[in-house]
Structure 1
Amino acid sequence: MGAQSTNILFLVLLSIAIFRTQGALNVHYYEESCPQAEHIVAQTVLNASIYDPKGCDASILLDSTPGNKAEKDGPPNISIRSFYVIDDAKAKLEKACPHTVSCADTGGPYWQVPKGRKDGRVSKANDTTQLPPPTSNVTQLIQSFANRGLGIKDLVALSGGHTIGFSHCSSFLGRIHNFSKSHEVDPSLNAEFGSNLKKKCPSPTHNGDKGQFLDSTSTKFDNDYYKQIMSGKGVFSTDQGMYYDQRTKSLVQAFANDQSLFFKEFAASMVKMGNVGVKEVGEVRLNCKRVN
């Protein structure tokens, strides 16, 4: 995986922390206090990606405690892996710039990422119920994004982050086993692709750690995700549904036909999402797994 896709991946994943941020963000926030921050984070993630192309999935970093079940242990996040990558980056940042860079912040060389986030002190598994499940329809997705001040273009552009995504069978079993009374497999799926998914996930209930990458170039950040959707090869119904809904179809087609346009809109939506839900209270954790 190249440095470009690695940095973009890390930004996508850490954007989940946006609901625990503080104050006005600034692209030069660490310029004086920790000028090495972005290089440290980028190099750590790049090194990790060499050994694990799936990468990490989100910056929901706090561990559960005896009195609280944290977000990482909520149902939608139970299979998330590679938190060690963020922990490793944080340890190096603490050595280089003690008490300076939060666990929620990162940056990248391909667009200006506003920084200055602070880490939240609260993490509850119940909060994960706000995440739209992979069975959501387009209307539900549009509403979920609208609730956060994000539009339809943001929805389609940010969904492109699935270009380097992986899903366990449990998230799409309903599409390949007993889909309806008349169809065993979701008919919106390409027939051959649906058959292959069923072979990879043969059980209608449990399939262990088996799953499917979300596009055919799983270690490269590109626009193949949209091409797969147009071919009926969207793994999630949320993905495939965007091609069949008139509110989103033209954007799927545009991004499939023009990779530079996708990159431009993805970057713009990432910055926009990074400014959602800014809160007043936070801290700079010394260890990303626990509050200070």
Structure 2
Amino acid sequence: MERLTEQPSKYKDLEKKSVEELIRDINREDQLVALAIQKVLPDIAALITAVEKQLKNGGRMFYLGCGSGGRLSVLDAIELPNTYGIEKGIVNVVLAGGVEHLVEALEEKEDDVEEGWETLQEAKISSADIVVGISASGTTPYVLETLKKCREHSIPCGSIVGNPDSPISTYSDYPVEVITGPEFITGSTRMKCGTVQKMLFDMISTTVMVRLGRVKGNRMVNARLTNNKLVDRSTKTLMVEMGLTDYEEAKSLILKCGNVQKAMDFIRSGKNV
């Protein structure tokens, strides 16, 4: 297997470059990311379709990862209950070293070949769920060995990797390989590979939430009212969607119902406020 993510950077003598030169070159490399993702959109669609199917049938999704990719998946998952009003536990993260140690960067846990499967067992993983492994190299032992166990137990798996023909892809039903080549800093996969991962997490979670009916038009009609900004946005959304003109009346209804979708359903029911 060719590990392009570990090949030397094509940029030399970085310490001799000016700020302007450094950011120009980083930006040049970053521009490769979206183009690389575009090449594998069919693979991404297949993965998302599989996730949608499992969740519609009452299953759960588990991101599985280490390092930068694992930590980025935590950021994606924790946003979903507030943004789309889904219950906690529908989208989860199995992070090497534990999500509770998110900020400690326990990189040595990448070599733990048992923890990932043990964590999934504690969550009562089953074939109704789906696991998405994340690894820039495509060889991370923590992810690879966990996916092997998932396959043994007929649990559907997807993966996101940064090298072609990786072992992790071999043990994935829905592999996604986004190839962006050597990093700006040799081997620093928190850069382009991290950007790929963030963009794919956005695609996966956003598309699945839309497909699950958590969005109307282009608006977050199931967002939870956790602060004044969200109350205001939800109030204005309700006014647009239902043709209301009285802001305070709409706000009162939003606060009573809890989100835009419930407020719209209330209005359509013909009940008195």
Q: TM-score, normalised by structure 1?
A: 0.26
Higher helix share: 2
Which structure would you say has the larger Rg?
A: 2
Flag the structure with more relative contact order, 1 or 2, with Cα contacts below 8 A and sequence separation at least 6.
Answer: 1
Q: TM-score, normalised by structure 2?
A: 0.27
Higher strand share: 2
